[in-house]
């Protein structure tokens, strides 16, 4: 039996704190390996390749079991002057982080919050970020669970 993906690729841009909250909701539960972060200090940009859970896509039943969607998404921040992290061993290439949310503050910082109390903080001149789905979505039996 063939399933039709109901996924319409997303493409969003954030220019203020409210935009970041919306973007964070779409990116919630993205899985990001440590090797998928890239900071270009000279170019002042920070990029991420995420394995995004598609919360906006309804599950499909297959032999009584729900199937959910995931898709690769590229996330790109510009005007990044400094990056710091907390609770992350950046030298462990086997580590995968689970993104919980993204938010900005009035001090010119964008916070990427992950499970296990991990965080990446981007000090930015201004909020300028975009993300878009890169490929076709695929099916998964695993749905993120929250306490």
Determine the Cα–Cα distance for residues 34 and 39; give it in Å rounded to an integer: 12
Task: For residue 109, tell me if it sits in a domain.
Answer: yes
Task: For residue 30, tell me if it sits in a domain.
Answer: yes
Taking residues 85-105, report their average pLDDT.
93
Q: Nearest-CA neighbor of 30 among 43, 48, 12, 44?
A: 48
Task: For residue 5, tell me if it sits in a domain.
Answer: no
Number of domains in the chain: 1
Percentage of the chain lying above the pLDDT 90 cut = 83
User: Is 70 exceeded by the pLDDT of residue 2?
Assistant: no
59: containing domain:
11-137
pLDDT in tens, 79-91: 999 999 999 988 8
Taking residues 49-58, report their average pLDDT.
95
Task: For residue 71, tell me if it sits in a domain.
Answer: yes
Q: pTM of the prediction?
A: 0.90
Task: For residue 3, tell me if it sits in a domain.
Answer: no
Task: For residue 146, tell me if it sits in a domain.
Answer: no
């Amino acid at each position: 039996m063939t399933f039709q993906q109901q996924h319409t690729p997303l493409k969003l841009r954030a220019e203020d704190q409210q935009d970041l909250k919306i973007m964070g909701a779409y990116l919630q539960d993205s899985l990001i390996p440590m090797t998928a972060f890239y900071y270009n200090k000279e170019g002042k940009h920070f990029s991420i390749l995420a394995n995004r859970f598609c919360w906006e896509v309804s599950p499909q039943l297959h032999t009584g079991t729900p199937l959910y969607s995931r898709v690769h998404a590229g996330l790109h921040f510009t005007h990044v002057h400094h990056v710091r992290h907390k609770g992350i061993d950046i030298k462990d290439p086997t580590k995968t982080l689970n993104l919980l949310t993204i938010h900005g503050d009035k001090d010119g910082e964008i916070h990427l919050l992950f499970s296990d109390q991990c965080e990446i903080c981007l000090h930015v001149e201004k909020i300028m970020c975009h993300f878009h789905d890169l490929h076709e979505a695929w099916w998964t039996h695993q749905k993120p669970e929250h306490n």
